[in-house]
Amino acid sequence: MSLSQSPAPQSEIWHGTTILTVRKGGKVVIGGDGQVSIGQTVIKGNARKVRKLGKGQGAHEVIGGFAGATADAFTLFERLEAKLEQYPGQLTRACVELAKDWRTDRYLRRLEAMMIVADREVSLVLTGTGDVLEPESGVMAIGSGGNYALAAARALADSEHDAETIVRRSLAIAADICVYTNHNVTIETLGS
Q: Please report, for the chain, the start and end positions of each structural domain, with discontinuous segments joined by +.
A: 10-182
* Known active-site residue 17: yes
pTM of the model: 0.87
pLDDT in tens, 139-156: 999 999 999 999 999 999
Question: By the 8 A CB rule, do 141 and 147 touch?
Answer: yes
CA angle 79, 96, 15 (to 5 degrees): 60
175 membership: H or E segment, kind and range: helix 163-177
CATH number for the domain whose boundaries are 10-182: 3.60.20.10
pLDDT in tens, 7-58: 444 444 445 789 999 999 999 999 999 998 888 888 899 989 999 997 655 5
Q: Identify the pLDDT of residue 108.
A: 63
Distances in Å between the alpha carbon of 150 and those of 26, 146, 157, 168, 181? 20, 6, 10, 12, 14
